[in-house]
């Protein structure tokens, strides 16, 4: 008897290709559209399902998306941090509600168009790996998935290149695919503007340097993020950046590019997606604090509340609230959330200047 699988259909090329691949592999494929953002329209996905000849359903979870993704996103900005909404969405909304719909229909498996791979070890533990296409790999956004979720998910695109997927999926979509947005609920890409428009605006305050000297006035900390250079409107005689946010004082710290450099950082809220803590190797682990990039070699020191990460070479600072992922080769071992380490930032910067 053929296995059944529920595919999350967006109406785009990737999810259409997922359904086509699984049909060709002999699965009984069902499609569903998750309505998450305001103005969500299932018609493109419905057309894809009709062209593929598969059953189709619509699941409206816009209220849950507002509560579990959009509101925490706004509040995190208000706290002077920069969130990763896709991480929260994948675990608590997208995958969770696909699995709930699959349960309702009596379907054991779900599939999505993520570029990542899942492998089962001899012990039965599920491991999450980078996608084959380095330019499309999305494993970074999946680090919060649980073992129970991974055991029921298929990622058919993980071992394929985007160019192949485009050829497979385009015959079933109604229009040419546009590049996906960084954040689906912010079409114009203006995160700070979205936060302000949705009740996240903060009071104006002072721009200060590392020593606390006042340099000028800013619009509110929700308008800024670590590493930002544009839109500061402050003359310093050289290029300057946001190096830290102090929400308790309402201050935005300004400094030179050298003051952004760190040789260690702190990560907490750890989740061991592929490996248990006792199995994390002492060497050969790489760190990613952004989705793009190959990763940086690092040394890890664990304690009860998290891990301290040390680098051989200075890196530009990462915004607190962002996700940190740790890999061994292509396997995503565990992830966590980058913490505020302003004191560490400036003490290390001074040490590097002395060297």
Active-site annotation, residues? 89, 184
Whole-Å CA distances, 206 to 186, 213, 259, 340: 28, 9, 19, 19
CA 147/CA 149 separation, integer angstroms: 5
Element (H, E) at 244: strand 241-246
CA 338, 340, 344, 348 dihedral sign is: positive
d(CA 39, CA 59): 14
Asked if 270 and 144 touch (Cβ cutoff 8 Å), the reply is: no
Contact (CB, 8 A) for 168 and 24: no
43-52 and 13-24 helices, crossing angle to 10°: 20
């Amino acid at each position: 008897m053929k296995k059944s699988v529920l595919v999350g259909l967006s109406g785009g090329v990737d999810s259409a290709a997922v359904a086509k691949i699984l049909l060709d592999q002999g699965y009984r494929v069902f499609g569903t559209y998750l309505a998450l953002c305001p103005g969500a329209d299932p018609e493109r996905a419905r057309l894809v399902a009709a062209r593929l000849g598969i059953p189709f359903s619509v699941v409206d979870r816009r209220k849950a998306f507002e509560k579990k993704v959009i509101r925490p996103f706004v509040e995190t900005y208000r706290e002077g941090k920069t969130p990763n909404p896709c991480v929260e969405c994948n675990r608590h909304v997208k995958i969770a509600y696909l699995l709930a719909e699959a349960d309702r229909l009596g379907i054991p498996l779900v599939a999505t168009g993520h570029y990542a791979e899942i492998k089962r070890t001899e012990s039965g533990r599920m491991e999450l790996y980078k996608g084959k296409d380095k330019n499309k790999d999305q494993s970074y956004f999946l680090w919060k998935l649980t073992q129970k979720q991974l055991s029921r998910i298929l990622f058919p695109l993980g071992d394929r290149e985007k160019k192949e997927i485009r050829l497979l999926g385009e015959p079933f979509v109604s229009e040419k695919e546009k590049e996906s947005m960084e954040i689906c609920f912010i079409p114009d890409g203006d995160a700070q503007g979205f936060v302000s428009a949705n009740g996240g605006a903060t009071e104006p305050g002072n721009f200060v340097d590392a020593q606390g000297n006042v340099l000028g006035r800013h619009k509110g900390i929700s308008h800024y993020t670590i590493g930002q250079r544009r839109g500061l409107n402050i003359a310093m005689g050289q290029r300057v950046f946001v190096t830290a946010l102090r929400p308790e004082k309402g201050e935005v710290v300004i400094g030179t590019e050298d003051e952004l450099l760190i040789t260690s950082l702190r990560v907490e809220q750890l989740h061991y997606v592929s490996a248990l803590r006792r199995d994390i190797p002492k060497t050969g682990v790489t760190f990613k604090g952004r989705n793009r990039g190959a990763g940086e070699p690092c040394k890890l020191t664990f304690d009860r509340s998290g891990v301290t990460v040390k680098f051989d070479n200075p890196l530009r600072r990462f915004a607190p609230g962002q996700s940190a992922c740790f890999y061994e080769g292509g396997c995503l071992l565990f992830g966590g959330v980058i913490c505020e380490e302003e004191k560490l930032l400036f003490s290390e910067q001074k040490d590097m200047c002395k060297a």
